[in-house]
Amino acid sequence: MSASVSKNTGVLPAIRSIFADVLGDDDNPMPALPAGLSDRVRPVAAAAVHCLIEYQGPGYAHLYLARLRRFVGRRNVDDAVFADIARLMATRMAYDDVIRMAQLKLAEAGADPGVPPDDVRKLRLDELVSLLPETVADYALWALDYPGWLHLPVTVRFSAASGFGLRLLRLEASLRRWRLSSLRYARERVWVERWLHMIDRSLTKQPAAVAAVVATAEIVQGHGEDYSRSMRHWNLIIDHLVKPTFDGALPCPDLAGAITEARAAVNSDPRQESLKRVIAGIREEPESGFSRGNEADF
């Protein structure tokens, strides 16, 4: 598939979804699952489509399926790997933002009146600003960076305890129509496409590592400082271990094992010191051809 076709496959459904949601009328037809999905993958994809329609609308679910079709019938993509791609891609496309938190609180309050009426989330100021349209958010982030306020913690309360709280939740949830024009969405779109690109490269360069590359998406999760930290972990592993291997700059015959070792370091040390040491150690192994003298900067 050419680069232009691949790009249009992802961008055009998103553009259609943006305009449909802005107008308040997503007239995309209900998505149909691709032919060729196995009995193991089909229910995962069906659940993902249902989730993404609730999250953003049918157009967004079409984008998910367009991405999923890239792996239908691909060599070295077994049912287990394909099911993980389907599940993890849906999780990342339904990322946690204030809009999603409001949606979930509304659904929770409607389904079970006995649940706690309030949820309190610890976010970051730059995380909230990233909900703005790209051009506005870029300027706002630049202005906040000057006094060093980008990472200021912000406490946000989602309350279904009163009529006012419910109206506020509905207002926040209604902002989903602007989500796909936000800076946050632009960043998440780039992340998903890069993750899919790494899977594509693994299928060509190291098929034995495909499952491990797919599973790196599990690193990225949460919101606030946890989300920011997890994204740094993921980028460190991709930039200094996975991508150099695929580029031929880092001979790493057991990339799957290296990724597993790196992920264990992430789990044991959220400050990244252990992860950096593990990656440096892998790069210094005799077969890698690296030494501390030419080790990439972290």
3-state SS string for the chain: CCHHHHHHHHHHHHHHHHHHHHCCCCCCCCCCCCCCCCCCCHHHHHHHHHHHHHHCCHHHHHHHHHHHHHHCCCCCCCHHHHHHHHHHHHHHHCCCCHHHHHHHHHHHHHHCCCCCCEEEEEEEHHHHHCCCEHHHHHHHHHHHHCCCCCCCEEEEEEECCCHHHHHHHHHHHHCHHHHCCEHHHHHHHHHHHHHHHHHHHHHHHCHHHHHHHHHHHHHCCCCHHHHHHHHHHHHHHHHHHHHHHHHCCCCCCCHHHHHHHHHHHHHHCCCCHHHHHHHHHHHHCHHHCCCHHHCCCC
Residue where the block lists tokens 């077969």: 287
Tell me what pLDDT residue 281 has. 92
Work out the number of other CB atoms within 10 angstroms of the CB of residue 156.
17
- State the pLDDT at residue 272: 83
Question: Dihedral of CA 120/123/127/132: which sign?
Answer: positive
Over residues 48-60, the pLDDT tens digits come to 999 999 999 999 9
**The residue to which tokens 């291997």 are assigned:** 245
Integer Cα distance of 94 and 84 in angstroms:
15
- As a whole number of angstroms, the distance between CA 92 and CA 87 comes to 9
The domain segmentation of the chain, as residue ranges, is: 1-94, 98-174, 206-298
pLDDT at 162 (0 to 100): 86
Share of the chain above pLDDT 90, in %: 71
The better pLDDT of the pair 57, 288 is held by: 57
Q: Is 190 exposed, middle or buried (0-12, 13-18, 19+ CB in 10 A)?
A: exposed
What was the pLDDT predicted at 1? 39
pLDDT digits (tens, 9 = 90+) for 112-131: 666 677 889 999 999 999 99
Q: What is the pLDDT of residues 235-251, one digit of tens each?
A: 999 999 999 999 999 99
What pTM does this model have?
0.85
Question: Residues 71-90: what's their mean pLDDT?
Answer: 96
Residue 31 predicted with pLDDT over 50 = yes
Band of the pLDDT at 24, cuts 50, 70, 90?
very low
Which amino acid, 60? Answer: Y
What pLDDT score does 230 carry? 94
Mean pLDDT of 88-93: 98
